[in-house]
Amino acid sequence: MNKKLVKIFELLVSIGITIGFIYLFYIVVGFDKIAQFFTELSIGSIAIAYFFYVLSYLTRAYRWKLTLSIKDFKKLFKITSFNTVFNIFLPFRTGELSFFYMLKKENVDMGETTLSFFTVRIFDAIALFSVFFISYLIYKDMWYLAIPVFFLMPFSFYIFKFLISFIKHEKIKKFHENVLSLKNLWVLYGLSFITFVFKFIGFYFILPPSVQLSFKEAFVAAAAGDLTTVLPVNGIAGLGTYEAGYAGILILMGVDKENALVASLFVHIFILIGSATLAGFCYLFLRDKKD
């Protein structure tokens, strides 16, 4: 099967996932109730949600200062915002290419870009799994296991550092010596961890009160929803796959199907609007004259 057919198949799967979710939502909840749920949101709750969402962008952008030669935080925030919105709206993680394109325009060496990109994405994965397991353990009132998980999960990056040390390529060796110090690795893990914490706290405040989710339930669900982003194929703009993770775990936890689906949709809508408005802000106010 050639690449073109594979892409067509993936696109059809994405469309099918999205249509399937829309149909399921119609059957379980019904579109007529959406307006009612929106009226439950207050300006205050939306502002709080957006505040924490912006904080997650700030910590996410700051991580690049540790791995890239660019130290201008305004540029890093702009790159983070654009890269995130492209990732959300473009299929099959093709939005990641925007990161390489933007750094090329900043005259950053492709080797540095590639090493930085994969390092940060690895820490994204480590931190996300850590947040998910910890939040689930706290939900199950197993606090005594949550703390060890926080400190044990990062040991995976010791393995990463160990394996990298065997590669004798000059750029990789330099990156290993200058960037992958144990201090930097812990800072990267901490920033990645708190990025997800800020984001998931924000998601809780965007939920309509009538869905009656506890903070613990909403937090675990948000982490499960984000885990779906690692799937090779997602629905259009993640619609359907994100809800499968978010609502799916809530249903397994005993939450009513209607409440679970409504909560997942509202969080997803917030992600789409929030990422788009931040990217729009960067385009209008943080753009360089040469862009």
So where are the chain's domains? 3-285
Nearest CA to 22 among 283, 264, 282? 264
pTM: 0.91
User: Is residue 290 pLDDT above 70, yes or no?
Assistant: no
User: Token digits for 139?
Assistant: 């939900």
Q: What pLDDT does 281 receive?
A: 94
Between CA 127 and CA 63 the distance in angstroms is: 13
Q: How far apart are CA 213 and CA 250, in angstroms?
A: 9
Q: Which of the given ranges, 127-141, 150-164, 231-245, has the highest pLDDT on average? A: 127-141
Mean pLDDT of the chain: 89
What is residue 2's predicted lDDT score, i.e. its pLDDT? 66
Confidence of residue 168 (pLDDT cuts 50, 70, 90): low
State residue 277 phi and psi, 5-degree precision: -70, -35
**Which residues lie closer than 8 Å to 163 by C-beta, 6 or more apart?**
none
Decide if pLDDT at 158 tops 80: no
Alpha-carbon dihedral sign for residues 150, 156, 162, 167:
negative
- Please state the three-class secondary structure of 232-279 as a single string: CCCCHHHCCHHHHHHHHHHHHCCCCHHHHHHHHHHHHHHHHHHHHHHH
Residue-wise pLDDT for 238-252, tens only, equals 889 999 999 999 999
Res 157 pLDDT > 80: no
Radius of gyration of the chain (CA): 20
Q: Does the structure show a pLDDT above 60 at 68? A: yes
Statement: residue 172 has pLDDT above 70: yes
More confident residue, 22 or 46: 46
